[in-house]
A and B are shown apart, each in its own frame.
Chain A
């Protein structure tokens, strides 16, 4: 189908984009790469009156290594992040997860921040952000910014803590920590399809942050102690997610994947079937 008519704004600066957001509030939808939103518009699941395209704002196109995190600007594409030479060294979890985000044809245009803003519960980048304890930076009038952790940002299916007059300017992924291992695993009908279950792990010396995507209404991260009974902890986690049956998998299969893949992810060396 074709989208409904909308007024189109393409600001050149972040200030101009925020001015438009202040003017129109939740009557406007933001678009950057459009790899999720355009499909929604084409199917007329959303019919915004106003579209604000932040994809052409050059000052938001950057990947910056700072003291303890990698900052990625709102106009940076997933392909640009994948081509960032130090990605595997600095963000090994994201380096493993990114090839699972859509297909290379959609990563060429889709942005990192856009995927996080869209907040699909089965999406890989929100899962990585939540698992690593990263942050979303939001800016509103007069340059006022606030930082929201991944855990607080994702509030439900396609629902986030962004306020209507706020622009996501960047996301911050904490850099790899010495002595930690990072692993990612996903089960989907086909590569590039929505995850039935996706798991991300940040494995330290005595504890693991295990993130689960595709099951609950948002990415869920739990801290598991490596001294406790792992099978019991994973079973408890699997049942706590409120898994549901759908056309692709039963709730029981999803719980099975959380237990089984979770155990393998934590205990075994990763195998990459890329």
Chain B
């Protein structure tokens, strides 16, 4: 595959379960493509060099800096953004826990942090506080001091574990 620098390439991928497409020059970052081409403005753009984590999205299920990935590289993949979290019933459990624990103030970093937590809790369903803090080290939040975020993530992990146990108990009866 070859795309000239001044050429626009048709990029198509699944965004939050729906196939979407738009055009991108090779140099267009995935975060800008999401916001400007697809209108998915939930993903925020911070430092643009992979340090702050605000633009984190999931690509094929894995947390990824969308400023360190080209839109053209996402062609044919599966992308999930913060817009995927809330359902018809409103905010999901993770988002509700963030609200309850004051895990955000200005909210600029939150979209990225939620997506990292989303993948992390899938892989590490029963994390220690140290593991949560290690996962959060890939994000900068200048409002909260992280305490509320850590509490929110730990509470969601506990609640999901309990729900799983109840489900398993119900199955075994």
Interface set of A (CB-CB < 8 Å, partner B) = 1-12, 34-35, 38-39, 41-43, 49, 51, 53, 55, 79, 99, 102-106, 108-109, 190-192, 274
Contacts and interface: CB of A to CB of B under 8 A. Distances in A.
B137 A192 contact: yes
A274 B134 contact: yes
Contacts of B64: 105, 108-109
A41 B65 CA distance: 15
Contacts of A99: 134
B88 interface: no
B116 interface: yes
Interface of B: 1-6, 25-27, 29, 32, 48-51, 53, 56, 59, 62-65, 67-70, 72-73, 116, 120, 130, 134-135, 137-138
The list of the 3 closest CB pairs from A to B, nearest first, reads A103-B138, A8-B26, A5-B5
B49 A104 contact: no
Given A3-B27, A6-B27, A108-B63, A190 B137 contact: yes
B26 A6 contact: yes
A8 B29 contact: no
Contacts of A53: 73
A235 B7 CA distance: 57
Majority DSSP secondary structure for residues of A touching B: loop
A104 B138 contact: yes
Nearest to B124: A104
A39 B29 contact: no
Interface core residue of B48, B65, B134, B137 (most chain A CB under 10 Å)? B65
Contacts, number: 105
B53 A105 contact: yes
A109 B137 CA distance: 17
Nearest to B116: A105
Given A5-B25, A7-B4, A8-B2, A106 B65 contact: yes
A3 B63 CA distance: 22
Contacts of B51: 39
A1 B32 CA distance: 11
A105 B32 CA distance: 19
Contact of B137 (A4, A34, A191): A191
A51 B4 CA distance: 10
B68 A2 contact: no
Given A103-B138, A104-B138, A191-B137, A8 B32 contact: no
A7 to B, nearest CB: 5
29 contacts: A2-B27, A5-B6, A6-B5, A6-B27, A7-B26, A8-B1, A8-B3, A8-B70, A8-B72, A34-B68, A38-B70, A39-B51, A42-B67, A42-B68, A43-B48, A55-B73, A103-B135, A103-B138, A104-B63, A104-B138, A105-B64, A105-B65, A105-B138, A106-B50, A108-B59, A109-B62, A109-B68, A192-B137, A274-B130
